[in-house]
Structure 1
Amino acid sequence: MNQIFDWLFSQYDGTPTHIVVLELIGVFFAILSVVFSKRNNILVYPTGLIGTAIAVYILIFYGLLGDMIINAYYVIMSIYGWYIWSRKVDKNHYTPITRTTREEQLKAVGIFFGTMLGVSLVYEFFDKWENWVSYTDILTTGIFFVGMWFMAKKKIENWLLWIVGDFISVPLYIYKGLIFSAILYLIMTIIAIYGYYSWKKLLNKNLQTV
């Protein structure tokens, strides 16, 4: 066990202590947020906002522009999602879980490619291209932008995008030496799988009561 901890913390040699502490706090709130999301609980947003604010600072420090933009976007979409989730569609019911429509799917494709183009231009402008890391960062940014939009609108497909994006992010963060964040994304991949099936049960229940 000691060898595991020694290996984990050896990845942070030369890293400022406050960055390590902030990363651990951010990991805690990120996991808490995903758990609340799985439970269809509106607390996903306040806990997510705390984790997001910490992540933006850390990502600026490490120069991961795509992920930094993702988290800045999360702040905006969290406020929007908080409003949607708390809005009542009638006297007794809040916004329900639904599947995406054809129109929403087309918009999602536009958001995905538009996001990747935008982040690519940011990398080009700041001359931050870095082998496969930059391309992976751009890809996951597109995936997460659509995923966050779907989650804010309570679309079940958001979980499929989180599963793919979280899994792809694991090697990216290992390469960057952010081991705790890599572990976080691995945990979130597992939670996202459970989240999808949890929401699917709720969706089927809602359809049966309509």
Structure 2
Amino acid sequence: MSAVFDFFFGQYADYETSSIILEIIAVIFGLLSVWYSKQNNILVYPTGMISTSIFVYLLLKWGLLGDMMINVYYFSMSVYGWYVWTRKVDEEHVTPIARATAKEHLWSVIIFVATVLFVFGVYTYFEKWTSWTAYVDTFTTAVFFVGMWLMAKRKIENWIYWIVGDIISVPLYFYKGFTFTSFQYLIFTGLAIYGFVAWKKYLNNSPVPA
């Protein structure tokens, strides 16, 4: 039993207790955020902002620039998403769940490429190309940037990006030594699949505009 515990949590032996507690709190609020997103509930944003704020602090402290940038972006897009989700498109209705348009797919590609180039520049400047994880970080950062942008615009395709990024992040964060965060992404994967199914069901049951 001890060997199993050490395998999963041994890396926390040298961590400050406060950092471990903060990571757990961030994970809890992160899970709540994804759950609310699956439910199409506006609380996705305040809970997500609490989680990302904590992670920005922790990741900066741990020197994980790519991961920190993801969470800074999450926080910013949460503010934007909160506005979009509550903005009324007419006197009675707020922005609905919808499929991405051709223009939005194009913007997704642009955001992905721009993010890769940006992260590449940052990692090069700070000489962070010291491990294979940096290359994976670059890819997942771009994937998550697009996913967050599409979620803020309430497009169902956001779940596809989350699923891809979450699956990759499970072993990635475990390798980095953040077991709680790795478990978070494992649960995120299941919730993202569930969210995609729920949103797709909503779209299929929604009346087609005349």
Common fold by TM > 0.5 = yes
Q: Distance in 1 between matches of 2:90 and 2:206?
A: 15
What percent identity do the matched residue pairs reach? 57
1:70-123 superposed Cα distances (whole Å, 9 cap, x missing partner): 110111110000000001112221110011111111111010010011001000
User: Is residue 2:98 matched to residue 1:108?
Assistant: no
User: Is residue 2:17 matched to residue 1:17?
Assistant: yes
Q: Provide the secondary structure at the position in 1 that maps to 2:206.
A: helix
Q: Which runs of 5 or more structure 2 residues have no equivalent in the other structure?
A: none
In structure 2, give the amino acid aligned to 1:191.
Answer: L
1:24-69 superposed Cα distances (whole Å, 9 cap, x missing partner): 0000000000000000000000000000001111111222211111
Q: Distance in 1 between matches of 2:141 and 2:4?
A: 31
* TM-score, with length taken from structure 2: 0.95
Which one is further off, 196-205 or 1-10?
Answer: 1-10
In structure 1, give the amino acid aligned to 2:58.
Answer: I
Seen in structure 2, the aligned counterparts of structure 1 residues 121 and 93 have a Cα distance that, compared at 3 Å, is same
User: Is residue 2:110 matched to residue 1:89?
Assistant: no
Q: Distance in 2 between matches of 1:171 and 1:62?
A: 18
What residue number does 2:28 align with?
Answer: 28
Q: Distance in 2 between matches of 1:168 and 1:175?
A: 11
Q: Which runs of 5 or more structure 1 residues have no equivalent in the other structure?
A: none
1:174-197 superposed Cα distances (whole Å, 9 cap, x missing partner): 111100000000110010000000
In structure 1, give the amino acid aligned to 2:36.
Answer: F
Over the aligned positions, Cα root-mean-square deviation in angstroms equals 1.5
Q: Distance in 2 between matches of 1:7 and 1:106?
A: 43
Q: Distance in 1 between matches of 2:65 and 2:169?
A: 14
In structure 2, give the amino acid aligned to 1:105.
Answer: H
What residue number does 1:170 align with?
Answer: 170
* Equivalent pairs, count: 210
In structure 1, give the amino acid aligned to 2:124.
Answer: E
1:113-168 superposed Cα distances (whole Å, 9 cap, x missing partner): 10011001000111111221000000000000000000000000000000000110
What residue number does 1:147 align with?
Answer: 147
Contact 1:64-1:137 at 8 Å conserved across structures:
no
* TM-score, with length taken from structure 1: 0.95
Which one is further off, 168-177 or 36-45?
Answer: 168-177
